[in-house]
Amino acid sequence: MWLLVLFCLILGIFIGFQLPLFLPDFYAKYMSIAVLAALDSVFGGIRAYIEETFDNTVFITGFITNTLLAAAIAYLGDRLGVELYLAAVIVFGVRIFQNLGIIRRYLIKKY
């Protein structure tokens, strides 16, 4: 199972580097927030799997909701002239590191 996930991750990274896709600088802020929201959901899903509380519906809806809400906050901040995206960066960053800490402690205990 994990080998399939690892293979797909490596394949996705390889394909991503091969495609000539360029984003305008204007969208860089939105893309970075979307990637952070996605990483937060992924690490939260791994944590829930470890704690045996994983629910696919919660994961998918959280993934979509986090991404859309973060993009909306960044857009609203652009419209108001305030860098609100920094709030989302801080929140997602803290949550990612908390989840990684819990995953790390689990792996240390297990192995």
Give pLDDT tens digits for 79-108.
Answer: 999 988 898 899 999 999 999 999 999 999
Flag whether 46 is in a domain: yes
Tokens of 73: 């906050």
DSSP-assigned letter for residue 26: G
Flag whether 13 is in a domain: no
Flag whether 1 is in a domain: no
Cα distances from 92 to residues 19, 53, 57, 64, 102, in angstroms, run: 28, 21, 20, 14, 15
Flag whether 17 is in a domain: no
What's the total number of domains in the chain?
A: 1
Flag whether 70 is in a domain: yes
Flag whether 18 is in a domain: no
Share of the chain above pLDDT 90, in %: 57
Cα angle 12-7-39, degrees, rounded to a multiple of 5: 55
Flag whether 32 is in a domain: yes
DSSP-assigned letter for residue 19: S
Flag whether 15 is in a domain: no
Write out residues in the chain with pLDDT < 70, as ranges: 1-2
Structural domain range at position 64: 24-110
Q: Would the pTM of this model clear 0.85, i.e. be above it?
A: no
